[in-house]
Amino acid sequence: MNAAAALSEIAKALEDVRAEIDQKARGLSKFFGAELSRNSGRIEIKIDTGVKDNQGNAVIGTDVLGTAVGTEFWGRPFVPYQQLLTLMRDIEDLSRPLPTWRGEELASQHETEILDRGASADALPDRLDDLTLLLFWSQMFFEPDNLALLERWGKNAGSPFQSLVCRFDDGRLVIASNSFFAYHYANPEVPPHALVRPPRLSSEILNLRRPMARNR
């Protein structure tokens, strides 16, 4: 299936990058994912408004530094390639002939298989779209503006970080996070094909010929 195969390199590369981060910096994905998911990715910081209250104390306000994207990359679990393999197996299954049944056999296991495989076929376009969107939004985490936003957040006294490095360096994603939670460091290589935008080819699945039951 061309649509699914076109996603293979992207999904495998992103899954490998995430797996290396999890291996080198255990706990980072859970922490990062939780922090970045707060307020739908909106990063808020505390600021001194310059105003005093009745007791002469500084009034602290909230400012929005920006909105982080790509939180999907920190999902648990993050296994897009495994999802793709399952999807491709289900697509391949569509080419397998359905069992032959007679009218009086409608209540048999054959009917269950026919209905299950029909439902699976109907769900394939949505599953492919969901996987494509997962890859697309995961890639958005690596955008330079997004990484720069995270570093600015790490420099703010109101962030959960004492310091945060999050940038590309010679083809590697360098993450050095020093927070109240722990210190984490990882520098996985990010191959160029990991960030190639995934094609939206779900129409190919829509055009698949669904298997038909054979009556006799």
> Hey, where are the domains in the chain?
2-206
Answer whether 0.95 is exceeded by the pTM.
no
Q: What is the DSSP string of 79-90?
A: -HHHHHHHHHHH
Structure-model confidence comparison of residues 111 and 27, the more confident one: 27
Residues contacting 72, CB < 8 A, separation 6+: 78, 134, 137, 138, 141
**pLDDT above 70: percentage of residues in the chain:** 76
* Residue 81 near residue 12 (C-beta atoms within 8 A): yes
Range with the lowest mean pLDDT among 61-70, 71-80, 98-107?
98-107
Percent of the chain as helix, strand, coil, to the nearest 5: 50, 20, 30
Question: Judging by DSSP bridges, how do beta strands 161-169 and 183-186 pair with one another?
Answer: unpaired
pLDDT of residue 156: 87
Task: Give per-residue burial for 117-155: e unless 16+ CB within 10 Å, then b.
Answer: beeebeebbebbeebbebbeebbbbbeeebbebbeebbe
